[in-house]
Structure 1
Amino acid sequence: MTPQFEYSTFAHPQDIQQLASILEQCYLMSSDDSEIYINRIGTENFRFIRVEQVIGGLAILAMGQWWGGQRVPMTGIAAVGIAPEYRGSGAAIALMQHTLKELHTQEVPISVLYPATQRLYRKAGYEQGGSLCTWEISTQSIQIREQPLPLQPIIPINHQVFHDLYQQQARLTHGYLDRNQAIWQGLIQPNNQEIIYGYLIGDKDQPQGYIIFSQHSAQDSAILQVRDWVVLSDAAAQTFWSFVANHRSQIKQVRWKSSAIDSLTLRLPEQTAKILHHDRWMLRVIDLVKALEMRGYPPGIQAELHLEVKDDLLAGNNGKFILSVANGCGEVTKGGKGELQLDIKGLAPLYTSLFTPYDLQLAGKLDATETALLAATQIFAGVSPWMINFF
């Protein structure tokens, strides 16, 4: 017999206590860790699924994401957890579907999450959207000594100091977040005995970047973990490398998050930096018209794409649409020839430019005429999407 699930927002303190216990079991968290996390997110941003009592839940993070130089409102989904005795019962997909319907009524264009399992989220209409890579290099192999810019320590560390610099890099980076406050707080919140350091790169009045990092013991060596970074000039990039290389007497390895094709490594004399981890995050188009119209497009093209989209959950995304692009902007009207056919999952990696339309057709994610493939290739041309944050 299928359980009758009830979806709700936060109502009683015991709701969050029950969810905290579930999340601690799901994510191997201590009670202190779950309390810190829940306080950072805010109880009003949790959603619950029940069978008489809470059997699972998730967190929603309202923020934005940069696509083609334009900010698109986005809701991140995090901390999806179901009590072990209810896993496999349909509780997780019911929780996701209810959340997506709620976000659709709020006219949220897109949603992003990091999957523990792709199968569940594909059932909810998500598909791979972009990358987060962890890179590593030995400090001895950096071999950059000259430091063209000064560094200014930020004591005590305060994330407000870094916001403007971050936004300058974010709007130029395909897939970057316009961060929720909880993500900023997580960047500077130390764990256990950890100390977090922050430095502006360049003059204090006109900085050209920053670095936020922590240091960790690892077996017989030590690691400098870059938690966040911005470089807005060649001089800032050179200073970044010189600064981390100057830790070589005590630090053996440096780790940082970047894209699969990392421009920072162009500054290095040899290909000694390696990708340690490569994760793909997933995206879901919630409001098709808003998502396509709010995104930026290559400024030099004028093209028209006739889409036919299938969405089993959100009826407003079903049907034929014409996407007209000119001067870097898109306009959507209903109707058209339906020359490029795909479901809502297939739209995600097309929207983000993670894969070309030809790649997606080979993977069975869409079916299109040659004319539509050419138009889609022009419209969704872009660099490989990535972000620096895990949530």
Structure 2
Amino acid sequence: MIHEFTYGKLTDETEKRQLGQILEQCFIGSPSDTESYINGIGVENIRVIRQAKEVVGGLGLLPMGQWYGGVCVPMTGIAAVGIAPEYRGSGAAIALMQNVVRELHSSGIPLSVLYPATQHLYRKAGYEQGGSHCGWEIPTQSIQVKEQPLPAIRVELDNFEWQKLYQQQAKLNNGNLERHQSIWQRLIDSDKEETVYAYLLGSLDRPQGYIIFRQRRGENKSYLVVKDWAILTTAAAKSFWAFLAKHRSQIDQVQWRSSVVESLSLLLPEQSLKPEFVQRWLLRIVSVEKALSARGYPSGIESELHLEVHDDLLEANRGKFILSVANGRGEVTRGGRGEMKLDVRGLAPLYTNLFTPQQLQQSGYLQATEIAIATATALFANSSPWMPDFF
């Protein structure tokens, strides 16, 4: 007899222990690491899928926000999706994700984001590529930036409100997070085997940026690994590179995470940085109306985009919508001419500006009139979406 899957929150310590064992096996962790992770997210934010009252998998929900067009849109991150090996291929994973999407929609959440181990599963639940997560590396000797307009002041990690500086940078970059507290905790925590260093760029009363990093030794090289950074002025950008260059006698390589289009590289004398890794996170438009009306748009543009959206999972997202934009904000109403037809998956990279409307049409993700293509191009033009965080 095949039992139906049931979805919900953890009910007791026994279920918490069962899920912990599943996640420990899925992510090759220790029992203490898994328990710490669950507690850091918050037990109330854990969801599980059961079969015959047995926990067969689960995940974590991270209530956050994500910046688009200078406005922070409520978003829930999906983390640590794990299914017991003996239940993989049973439909448990897609049942888990479909239930999550329905719950988020019922809660009024516009967006959801995750990092996929495999795209195939999450595309079935309506997720699609939304932006980039890129790691960069540069030989310290090749930085060669000597002018440092601002001092680098070492401070204790727990003695400064890093969120305020980070947010000033995040709101200028599509896809950057309004971070969950567990992400902040992971950035500033250190274990017994490493020291985390933190420096302000500027003065204590007027900081213009910061850099948080650790140092490690590889097999043949030494590395300075930037865990987090914020650059708010040209002086801070120059000082960022000059400060890193001063480590060249002890450090071979500097590593950091940024956009695929790394504007800080313009200050380097040569193109000596190389991508260490590039991956894409996936975004799900959970509510078409709320997502389109919540984000920011270019100021000075007044226009209407007539959409027709299909969503296999959420009936409320199906049909024709009119996006009316004025003064940098959008309003969504039902109806219209449906001049741009697309699936909810195709709406994700359009919404984030990962791909242009022309590129999405060439890839078969949408069909639109020339006027609709031109309108969408103007409305969603902004920086390439990225985030430095992995969850």
Please give the alpha-carbon distance, in whole angstroms, between the structure 2 residues aligned to 1:279 and 1:159. 33
Q: Any gaps of 5 or more consecutive residues in structure 2? A: none
1:174 aligns with 2:189: no
Q: Which residue of structure 1 lines up, in the alignment, with residue 193 of structure 2?
A: 193
Q: TM-score normalised to the size of structure 2?
A: 0.98
SS of the residue corresponding to residue 82 of structure 2 reads: strand
Please give the alpha-carbon distance, in whole angstroms, between the structure 2 residues aligned to 1:86 and 1:160. 46
Give the conservation status (yes or no) of the 8 Å contact 1:3–1:89: no
Please give the alpha-carbon distance, in whole angstroms, between the structure 1 residues aligned to 2:2 and 2:101. 21
Amino acid at match of 1:280: R
Once the two structures are superposed, residues 148-171 of structure 1 have per-residue CA deviations (whole angstroms, 9 ceiling, x without a partner) of: 11122122x128521110010011
SS of the residue corresponding to residue 161 of structure 2 reads: helix
Q: Which residue of structure 1 lines up, in the alignment, with residue 79 of structure 2?
A: 78
1:92 aligns with 2:93: yes
Once the two structures are superposed, residues 124-156 of structure 1 have per-residue CA deviations (whole angstroms, 9 ceiling, x without a partner) of: 00000000100000000001122211122122x
Amino acid at match of 1:298: P
Q: Which residue of structure 2 lines up, in the alignment, with residue 137 of structure 1?
A: 138
Q: Which residue of structure 1 lines up, in the alignment, with residue 323 of structure 2?
A: 323
Q: Which residue of structure 1 lines up, in the alignment, with residue 15 of structure 2?
A: 15
For residues 121-270 of structure 1, the aligned pairs below 5 Å read 121-155=122-156, 157-158=157-158, 161-191=161-191, 193-270=193-270
For residues 60-71 of structure 1, the aligned pairs below 5 Å read 60-71=61-72
Please give the alpha-carbon distance, in whole angstroms, between the structure 1 residues aligned to 2:64 and 2:321. 27
Once the two structures are superposed, residues 107-129 of structure 1 have per-residue CA deviations (whole angstroms, 9 ceiling, x without a partner) of: 00000000000000000000000
Once the two structures are superposed, residues 272-313 of structure 1 have per-residue CA deviations (whole angstroms, 9 ceiling, x without a partner) of: 011110010000001111100010001121111110001111
Once the two structures are superposed, residues 331-379 of structure 1 have per-residue CA deviations (whole angstroms, 9 ceiling, x without a partner) of: 1110011111011100000000100001000101011111111111111
Amino acid at match of 1:117: T
Please give the alpha-carbon distance, in whole angstroms, between the structure 1 residues aligned to 2:186 and 2:128. 26
Give the conservation status (yes or no) of the 8 Å contact 1:2–1:89: no
Give the conservation status (yes or no) of the 8 Å contact 1:131–1:281: yes
Please give the alpha-carbon distance, in whole angstroms, between the structure 2 residues aligned to 1:81 and 1:207. 41
Over aligned residue pairs, what C-alpha RMSD do you find? 1.1
Please give the alpha-carbon distance, in whole angstroms, between the structure 1 residues aligned to 2:191 and 2:102. 35
Please give the alpha-carbon distance, in whole angstroms, between the structure 1 residues aligned to 2:337 and 2:159. 49
Please give the alpha-carbon distance, in whole angstroms, between the structure 1 residues aligned to 2:129 and 2:282. 4
Cα distance, 1:380–1:80 mapped onto 2, change above 3 Å: same
Give the conservation status (yes or no) of the 8 Å contact 1:301–1:325: yes
- Aligned identity (percent) is 59
Q: Any gaps of 5 or more consecutive residues in structure 1? A: none
Give the conservation status (yes or no) of the 8 Å contact 1:159–1:184: no
